[in-house]
Structure 1
Amino acid sequence: MDIRKKCQPHLWLLTGTGEGHAFAKSLLKEGWKITVSVVSERASIPYEKLNLEKILIGALISEEDIRSVIFNARNNHGGFHCVIDLTHPFALKITSAISNVCKQLDQPFIRYERPKNKISNAFLIKKFSDLGNYNLKNKSILLALGVRSLREALLLLRDSGANVYARVLANPESIKKALSSSIIHTNFAVLNPSGSSNGKIEQALIRRWAIDGVICRQSGGANEMLWHRICSSIGIDLWLLERPCKYENINSIDSYDKLSEKLKSINML
């Protein structure tokens, strides 16, 4: 069956994870038309070689922003067959906003939720204050969880007597926020994890700073798996900031195969 002959063969993918590019590429092979949303010019680069209908660049700040994209699609090409949320597991506000708008507009919606990795020997914490349950005095701790949480984690770790270091993503916003925080400027490194997926740079940082433990988010992606592997091989501690609970009233899928089947079922309605 050629889905391009069906009504509304157009999908809107909101991406913020590494799976976004792979899903878009596979959906294109299946015959879908794709519009992709990314938060920055840098995030759009992997999609530029794909045969997409459109790349929308910039953060969707409000429900009105989301509603506007859906209405424009309906006015210009008959609308989206489905909106697919591939944003980060910790991006709580955007997922709730997308879900709400889609319900209001009777717009089919699918949320992709990464399966959780096995925790192995890592410590799971619900919030940063849980770090107070561990003796971190004079320990060198590396933060690998994004600059949005940097200030909060930094203050709590300093109160516990730890020496704090951070890995900061190579983009202007992250660097600016790191510089404006109270972290010592020689205690953070700027790098792009996607360019160092073998972990050699991360391991070099651990050796240079004599790191005793790493804190990252339970994101379920390649970055989390990388820290599991590195910490296990070197024999240092790993703390995972627990992923938020599943959203109420939002049915999610956890694989591309399930997404494909879900889209076909929508197609037959």
Structure 2
Amino acid sequence: MDIREKCQPHLWLLTGTGEGHVFAESLLKEGWKITVSVVSDRASIPYEKLNLEKILIGALITEEEIREVILNARIHQNGFHCVVDLTHPFAMKITRSISKVCRELGQAFIRYERAIDNISNAFLIEKFSDLRNYDLKNKSILLAVGVRHFQEAFTFARNAGANVYARVLANPESIRKILSSSIQKTNFAILNPSVSSNGKIEKALIRKWNISGVICRQSGGSNEVLWHRICLSMRINLWLLERPTELKNINSVDSFENLIEKLKSINM
């Protein structure tokens, strides 16, 4: 029998950020049993070598799907000690659904929320329509906002008079959406930048397109830090779409240490 069956309860991790794999690996080392949810086959690859109970692949679209996973675990695996939300800071729909279902089922729930860095070299905007308050006429602006926000950001930046360019990550959904958008085909680059690249590809695009400003999301993590560093070093403007705050009252932590502390405080 796996020793974890005796000594530690079971956690369900819903992932969607770079911290997902790090947290899963660290929790396993602490002795917890882990089931992980990822949105695609590609997203599951980093988890395949971990000693997980299960990898659930596919987006959880409805509250009923979330409820089914929790109830099945109660029937077959003695239930989850806690559901841990590690989804993206802008994935508000899934966080809202998970927290609602957990509350209804009396299921312990914790959300990991990246800390917000107070870095001063950026303009903070609440919504993309705020771009009309800035002089973007005839300026080359690079969008790095993710495909779900792309069309809205593109529309407002273009309406403000900007020449709009985009950096798009190399995955099927992103490629489909960028190709179906109204951006010129010569104005975007599809790439999958490595953390170790230190922004070399992004800097090359900025030089190639003579970019004077970048628009991205206040999502925290290495990607936001990278854009702060690039824009500061190249002396160009940076606009950040402010992180959603509507779920501030959710039980949340901002570090692995705080997560462990809260997990251990939950009654068995």
Q: TM (normalized to structure 2)?
A: 0.96
**Structure 1: 4+ residue segments shifted above 2 A:** 2-6, 193-197
Matches for 1:1-269 after TM superposition, within 5 Å: 4-6=5-7, 9-194=9-194, 197-266=197-266, 268-269=267-268
What is the identity, as a one-letter code, of the residue corresponding to 1:185? K
RMSD over equivalenced CA pairs, Å: 1.4
**CA shift for structure 1 position 119:** 2.7
C-alpha change, 1:103 and 1:15, in structure 2 (3 Å) is same
Q: Distance in 2 between matches of 1:216 and 1:259?
A: 28
Secondary structure in structure 2 of the residue aligned to 1:193:
coil
In structure 1, C-alpha distance between the alignment counterparts of 2:83 and 2:89, rounded to whole Å: 17
Residue 152 of structure 1, CA deviation: 1.2
Q: Per-residue CA shift, 1:64-117, capped at 9, x if unaligned? A: 010011111111111111100000010001001000110111111111100001
Task: Report the AA paired with residue 158 of structure 1.
Answer: R
Q: Distance in 1 between matches of 2:19 and 2:154?
A: 30
After TM superposition, give the deviation of residue 193 of structure 1 in Å.
Answer: 3.0
SS at match of 1:50: coil
**What is the percentage of aligned positions where both structures have the same residue?**
74
Return the alpha-carbon distance in structure 1 between the equivalents of residues 195 and 232 of structure 2: 21
Tell me how many residue pairs correspond in the alignment: 266
Structure 2 residue runs of 5 or longer lacking an equivalent are: none
Q: CA deviation at 1:194?
A: 3.6
Segments of structure 1 that go 5 or more residues without pairing to the other structure are none
Q: 1:114 to 1:248 in 2, by over 3 A?
A: closer
Letter in 2 for 1:5: K
